[in-house]
Chains A and B, each alone.
Chain A
Amino acid sequence: MPDLHIRKIISSREEIFHEGGPVADTPLLRGAMLAIIKNPFAGRYEPEIQGFMEDLKPLGLDMAQRLLDMLGGPDKIEGYGKGSLVGEGGELEHGALWHAPGGYAMRQLLGTANAIVPSSKKVGGVGARLDVPITHVNAAYVRSHFDSMEVGCNDAPRAGELAFALVMTTGGRVHSRSGGLEAKDIKGEDGLR
């Protein structure tokens, strides 16, 4: 089984006070963790790749825990998302290996998180940027919490690398006023409403 080789870990934390409207009573926090790791399958077609998901579990948990520490703990988290950037020596399918270890790490540490974790993935060169989608952790239809956060790194992903991202927020968009399902009205049981 391939080991996990981490080259870089990048954290990003944004405090958003306003966006041209009234200053928020509590600033919105958005956090991202990006891990740059070696792609054990780069440069060849490998039919069996699922074993690597097991190797990624500790990384997912470490990144999710760092996000919780950065943003004030599980009780503060209202939105989440995940994403993968695959260096040019790999294939899109390698990015899909992040779904289980990335998503379930966040849901495990959050306790209650019934909504599917939205995701994006792509193959890109060094310096590529990835827009990681964000939705409410318990009800995917909550309109105020649809958001995204851009991640990337000037020297990654190299051809033989993968960059895996996890993102969390402490609330909806800072001047949310587009209607739809409100966070206060959700049941939060089926992950949708």
Chain B
Amino acid sequence: MTAKIRKIAVNVEEVHSEIGRTISPATRKAVAVAVIENPFAGRYQDDLTDLMDIGAELGGLLGAKCVEALGITPDQAESYGKSAMVGENGELEHAAAILHPKLGAPLRVAVEKGAALVPSSKKMGSPGQVLDVPLGHKDAAYVRSHFDGIEVRLNDAPRANEIMVAVAVTDSGRPLPRVGGLTSTDAIGKDGLK
């Protein structure tokens, strides 16, 4: 089954200064969201394979949308994250089926490599609610400068029978990182952690 997409939204945030300090080059985060029909809204469905397949489709599509919006090559992506918000006639497990089994592999193609776990969040919600997408370094989860998040919300989604699926990609960490820990330059990026 392929996703029945009502709309796709892509947001890019650039931070040029923070607390009076110039950020150069600006840090940049993108989040791409697809609003899809929930094929299992309003009923209990035991086999969630269709949603897993939709996850695979959207992982590639939304990852590529982020990379395109940032105007970078896939290898320049530094961190990523994924989230889903399920409209009131669905269930939380629908978000899990989209996000976890199959979304990651095509996303990793879109951002090249991606040894680290893709951080995620999920919730039930309604139109206009906020979805906070967690962000972590794509090759080494312990890189402390890249722990972040990006908020996304759409005033008209998710309707009761819809699911909002979000993928976030950045080309940078936080604007003024200074809490130590593993740095991106010291990360090895093989085991996904360090």
Contacts and interface: CB of A to CB of B under 8 A. Distances in A.
A161 to B, nearest CB: 11
Contacts of B155: 129, 150
Contact of B10 (A5, A12, A129): A12
A10 B12 contact: yes
B14 A9 contact: yes
Contacts of A150: 155
Contacts of B73: none
Interface residues of B, number: 19
A124 to B, nearest CB: 16
Interface in A17-76: 17-20
Given A6-B16, A7-B18, A15 B151 contact: no
Contacts of A20: 6
B11 A12 contact: yes
Interface in B1-26: 5-18, 26
Contact of B11 (A6, A7, A11, A15): A11
Contacts of B11: 10-13
Nearest to A12: B11
Contacts of A153: 13
How many chain A residues sit at the interface, stated as a range, is: 20 to 34
Contacts of B69: 11, 13
Contacts of A7: 15-18
A14 B9 contact: yes
A100 interface: no
A8 interface: yes
Contacts of B10: 11-14
Contacts of B5: 17
Nearest to B149: A154
A109 interface: no
A16 B10 CA distance: 12
B17 to A, nearest CB: 5
Contact of A11 (B12, B18, B26): B12
Contact of A8 (B6, B14, B151): B14
Most buried by A among B7, B8, B69: B7
A179 B17 CA distance: 47
B9 A8 contact: no
Given A10-B12, A17-B7, 4 more contacts: A11-B11, A11-B69, A12-B9, A14-B8
